[in-house]
Structure 1
């Protein structure tokens, strides 16, 4: 029998939080063990419940999201935190990734994407970053199956940034502590996800989607 994934939802929008909890409770392997409208009460519940996954809105009353995240990790170290937001500030996303989040989802993500992210978070998989432009591109391409594999991972974002700074595959491998073969695998995945046909096209698409900040001309 599959183990249940316990989830705590922290979001100050009562209607959205309630709807999200209803969606999650319909899944046979997910159970909502608590919900909160602010960071303080969410942290208190996490300390008592030790959920597998916390879904945390970026903009909640009280302390800033980074402080809330760090306090959550302090009271329940094994809990994986999945951030949801209507914003896609890549600077904030990188800061949260460095603080140990399991993923960052734009609120435009489909139900299937959210469920996949929760299951990936519980399995301690690679950090997933999913922003709104990916949903728009799938709709334009006529791909409406809600497949979650269009999301770039944190590692793939690191590769894109280094390609944008004109680093070779070998230089990227050395910088990230991985093999050149792994760099090539990441690039193939990124090309497919962005619909890019060259390294320059990949960088241009990533820049247009605000996944990376372009370097100023010298």
Structure 2
């Protein structure tokens, strides 16, 4: 079922009281140790609300498209080519094996964490950090919806960055920085895009008065 991470809890064990009456100096020692324990204990990770984009009105569910002019790309943005990327094929892997490979890459190799999962709809969402440059970092909310042979996805950055005005390589599509990050992820997994030749023909056109 959909949900976010649970808050952690701290448990303490009570020790039996001593049979003698301690002096004030002796009573101060446990208090000092308790204060040190509070100082060195790692903070709990509180549960945080995460805005998800899975339409659940149908039995299968589907990913929602990105809002215009956002640092977001999705396989559902058919009418916005700069924010569209075709679903990925993971053939010949099974969906279960493909999901394990994806989680190994995003959680194990990139330090991400799962924030929601719906096994009945083959859906999983993760928060994955990435570098913004100059020592700054941000996180992408990555959402995936698996079928028998492919996976649809949605990637939205926490920081909205305008797309570059043009492409640096012939035939590329200008779009949000998420495009490049998702293409790098696809290549790292060894998967392929389910795109047709028509998908590759669109390029950004700048009109001047």
User: Which structure is higher in RCO with an 8 Å CA cutoff and minimum separation 6?
Assistant: 2
Greater strand proportion? 2
Greater helix proportion? 1
Give the TM-score of the pair, scaled to structure 1.
0.28
Give the TM-score of the pair, scaled to structure 2.
0.28
